[in-house]
Amino acid sequence: MFIPFNAGRAWRRQKPRSSAGSQAVVLKQSHILARVTLLTACCLWILILAVIALARVRPIASIELPTQLQPRGPLPQTAHCLLSQGRYDDCQFDLNSQAFDLTYDSKSRTIIRILVRGQQYTISDLLLAWGTPTGFTRFGYGCSIVIMWNTRAAHLNTCALQMSSRIDLLEYALAQVPDSPWRGFTCWTQGRIDGETRFGAPVERSPPKS
């Protein structure tokens, strides 16, 4: 086939351009494919992390008291009490295989304090359930700590307070009066309260009976 000279030159000039255009399209498609692959991998990784996190979440037993047992409430009929010569009696009430230690006001005929064991809970459980604490009290210079949420409190025996620290006792009372406001976990260093001289003398009261 005869191709005119000028047409042949034009055809030879257009052929490299067509080849370069094809390479640009392939390169652009490769970049798009790489981005889609990276985005898909990130989404899968986030999904895997979410599944792992949900798998590690353990069910938390109810932290609240049963309706028939509340501060300012009446003493249950099946409670057993050691009558004292004073105003306040020590009582115990069993419900669903769980023992509750009560302080009963014989004058007002109401419960003023409730203690229950709480080893199944950690500090993080209470923070999720009750929010930010209102304050804390430390007994003497030892490792006995009470963290308070208004009328509720958690008793711990630890020299290094952490989110995973286990609770010894849960306390429900008419009121809780902390010695110091809550400053978060940053005030606990090496088992001592940072700047403890600011908090004054140790508390002169005995820890609750377990």
pLDDT digits (tens, 9 = 90+) for 137-182: 887 666 889 999 999 999 999 888 888 999 999 999 998 888 888 8
User: What pLDDT digit, counting tens, does each position of 177-203 carry?
Assistant: 888 888 877 555 444 444 332 232 333
pLDDT, residue 192, reads 44
Structural domain spans, the chain: 1-57, 80-199
pLDDT tier at 208, thresholds 50, 70, 90: low
- Output phi, psi for 99, to 5 deg: -95, 135
Dist. CA 31–CA 25, nearest whole Å? 10
Q: What is the C-alpha to C-alpha distance for residues 169 and 19, in angstroms, rounded to an integer?
A: 79
User: What was the pLDDT predicted at 34?
Assistant: 74
Q: Under DSSP, is residue 4 helix (H, G, I), strand (E, B) or coil?
A: coil
SS3 121: coil
Give 76-135 pLDDT, tens digit per residue: 999 999 888 889 999 999 998 889 999 999 999 999 999 999 999 999 999 999 999 999
Beta carbons of 76 and 65 less than 8 angstroms apart? no
CB count within 10 Å of CB 178 equals 17
The Cα 127–Cα 149 span in angstroms is: 10
Q: Cβ(166)–Cβ(119) under 8 Å?
A: yes
Global pTM exceeds 0.95: no
The residue to which tokens 């709480």 are assigned: 118
**What are the distances in angstroms from CA 134 to CA 9, 17, 184?**
88, 75, 10
Judge whether 84 and 61 are in contact, CB under 8 Å: no
